[in-house]
Chain A
Amino acid sequence: MSTNPMHQFNVYRIGPEINLGNVDISFTNASLFMIISALTIVSVLFVGTRRKAIVPTKIQLLTELSYTLVSKMISDTAGLKAKPYFPFVFSLFMFVLFCNMLGMLPYSFTVTSHIIVTFALAAIIFLGVTIIGFVNHGIGYLKLFIPSGVPLFLLPLIVIIEIISYLSRPVSLSVRLFANMMAGHTMLKVFGGFVISLGVLGGLLPLSFTVALTGLEILIAFLQAYVFAILTCIYLNDALNLKH
Chain B
Amino acid sequence: MVRNYLKLIGFFIFLSGNCFAANEGMPQLNPDYWISQIFWVMLIFGTLYVILWKAILPKINENLENRKSQILTDLDEAQELKNQSEKKISEYNMILSKAKQDAKKILDGTRKKISLDIENKNNQFNLEINKEIENAEKEIKTLKLSSIKDINKISIETSSEIVRKMVGTEINSSSVSAAVEDISKKEIIKYI
Inside 8 A of B28's CB, which chain A residues have their CB?
9, 113-116, 178, 182
Q: Are B61 and A120 in contact (CB under 8 A)?
A: no
CA distance A1 to B47 in the complex (A): 36
Q: C-beta contact mask, A175-211 vs B, less than 8 Å → 1, else 0? A: 0001000100000000000000000000000000000
**B22 to chain A: closest CB distance in Å?**
8
How far is B44's CA from A45's CA once the two chains are assembled, in angstroms? Answer: 16
Chain A residues positioned under 8 Å from B64 (CB to CB):
64, 67-68
- Give chain B's interface residue range (CB within 8 Å of chain A): 35 or more
Please give, as numbers and ranges, the residues of chain A lying within 8 Å of B170 by CB-CB distance: none
B66's nearest neighbour on chain A, judged by CB, is A52
- The smallest C-beta distance from B72 to any residue of chain A, in angstroms, reads 13
CA distance A166 to B33 in the complex (A): 28
Q: Among A26-34, A219-227, A235-243, which stretch is in contact with chain B?
A: A26-34
- Whole-angstrom CA separation of A34 from B48 in the bound complex: 10
How many CB-defined contacts (below 8 Å) exist between A and B? 133
Query: How many angstroms from the CA of A46 to the CA of B51 in the assembled complex?
Result: 10
Query: Do B36 and A54 touch across chains, with their CB atoms under 8 A apart?
Result: no
Provide the B1-12 mask, 1 if CB < 8 A to any CB of A, else 0: 011000000000
As a 0/1 sequence over residues 92 to 133 of chain A, the CB contacts with chain B under 8 angstroms (1 = contact) are 101100000000000000010111110011001000000000
Name the CB-closest residue of A to B26.
Answer: A6
Query: Min CB distance, A38 to chain B, in Å?
Result: 4
Chain B: which residue is nearest A112 at the CB level?
B41
In the complex, are the beta carbons of A88 and B38 less than 8 A apart? Answer: no
Shortest distance from the beta carbon of B90 to any chain A beta carbon, whole Å: 34
Task: Choose among A6, A68, A94 the residue that contacts B52 (Cβ–Cβ < 8 A).
Answer: A94
In this assembly, does A161 line the interface, its C-beta being within 8 Å of a C-beta of chain B?
no
- Map CB proximity to B onto A9-44 as digits: 1 under 8 Å, 0 otherwise: 111010000001011111110110011001001100
The interface residues of chain B lying within 8 Å CB-to-CB of A10 are 27
Which of B27, B34, B36 has a CB less than 8 Å from the CB of A31?
Answer: B36
B111 vs chain A, min Cβ distance (A)? 63
Q: Looking at chain A, what size class is its interface with the partner chain?
A: 35 or more
CB-defined contacts of A24 to chain B, threshold 8 Å? 3, 32-33, 35-36
Assembled-state Cα–Cα distance A7/B32 (Å):
16
**Interface check B125, CB cutoff 8 A:** no
Residues of A within 8 A of B (CB): 1, 4, 6-7, 9-11, 13, 20, 22-28, 30-31, 34-35, 38, 41-42, 45-46, 48-49, 52, 54, 60, 63-64, 67-68, 86-88, 90-92, 94-95, 111, 113-117, 120-121, 124, 178, 182
- Can you name 12 extra interface pairs (CB under 8 A) apart from A23-B2, A48-B60, A54-B67? A6-B24, A9-B28, A24-B35, A31-B40, A41-B52, A46-B56, A49-B63, A60-B63, A67-B60, A88-B53, A116-B37, A120-B38
Q: Offer 11 A-B interface pairs, CB within 8 angstroms, sorted by A.
A: A9-B26, A11-B30, A30-B36, A30-B40, A31-B37, A38-B44, A42-B48, A46-B56, A48-B60, A87-B53, A182-B26
The chain B residues found within 8 Å of chain A, CB to CB, are 2-3, 21-22, 24-30, 32-42, 44-45, 47-49, 51-53, 56-57, 59-64, 66-67, 70
